[in-house]
């Protein structure tokens, strides 16, 4: 009985150690955005980072038409934190997704242009993701909102 009492803290320490390993300050950031064409099946695929996703729900949310993005060129970048930022021409939002098991879960849809973007581009500017659209439109984004507006 005494022996069992002695072993309990040791076992707890071992199990606690196994479950609590965390790798910190991981940089998930892509150096450059990917420009991906939406296929007829409403999918996008990034060969370098091995990401493939169906973007029909994004089209439904942004344009109320699940097939509206077919043939469009979308811009996708992963931030240093690990969130995926997705946008494209005529988009009013930048969609921020968190990776889940076999899924990308919408974290935030950041409203960036009421009239829709014209020719957007995403840049990696840690700790932000930069959104530009032409010479005079520039926003620094976090995974939740617009952090800074620059011109």
What is the smallest separation between the CB atom of 47 and another protein, expressed in angstroms?
12
Q: How far is the CB of 41 from another protein (least distance, A)?
A: 24
Q: Which of 48, 101, 114, 115 binds another protein (CB under 8 A)?
A: 48
Contact indicator for 122, 110 with CB cutoff of 8 Å: no
Judged by beta carbon, residue 56 or residue 77, the one nearer another protein is 77
In whole angstroms, what is the distance from residue 37 CA to residue 45 CA?
8
Q: CB of 37: closest distance to another protein in angstroms?
A: 14
Nearest to 62 by CA among 4, 112, 102: 112
DSSP 27-72: ----SS-EEEEPPTTSEEEETTTTEEEE-HHHHHHHHS-TTTTTT-
Please report whether residue 139 would count as binding another protein according to CB under 8 A. Answer: no
- Judged by CB under 8 A, the residue of 32, 105, 111, 147 near another protein is 32
Can residue 151 be called a binding residue for another protein (CB under 8 A)? no
Q: Do 73 and 37 contact (CB within 8 A), yes or no? A: yes
CB 129 within 8 A of CB 122: yes
Please give the residues from 69 up to 108 whose contact with another protein meets the rule CB under 8 A. Answer: 75
Using DSSP, state whether 137 is helix, strand or coil.
Answer: coil
**Among residues 69, 74, 94, 130, which is the contact residue for another protein, using CB under 8 A?**
130
| Residues binding another protein (CB under 8 A) | 31-33, 35, 48, 75, 121-124, 130, 132, 134-135, 138
């Amino acid at each position: 009985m005494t022996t069992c009492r002695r072993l309990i803290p040791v076992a707890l320490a071992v199990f606690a150690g196994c479950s609590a390993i965390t790798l910190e300050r991981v940089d998930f950031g892509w150096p450059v955005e990917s420009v991906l064409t939406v296929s007829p099946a409403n999918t996008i695929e990034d060969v370098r980072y091995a990401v493939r996703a169906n973007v029909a729900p994004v089209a439904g949310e942004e344009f109320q038409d699940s097939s509206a993005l077919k043939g469009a060129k979308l811009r996708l970048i992963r931030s240093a934190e690990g969130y995926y930022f997705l946008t494209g021409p005529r988009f009013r939002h930048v969609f921020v997704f968190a990776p889940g098991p076999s899924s990308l879960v919408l974290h935030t849809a950041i409203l960036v242009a009421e009239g829709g973007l014209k020719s957007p581009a995403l840049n990696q500017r840690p700790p932000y993701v930069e959104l530009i659209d032409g010479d005079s439109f520039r926003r620094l984004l976090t995974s939740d909102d617009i952090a800074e507006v620059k011109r």
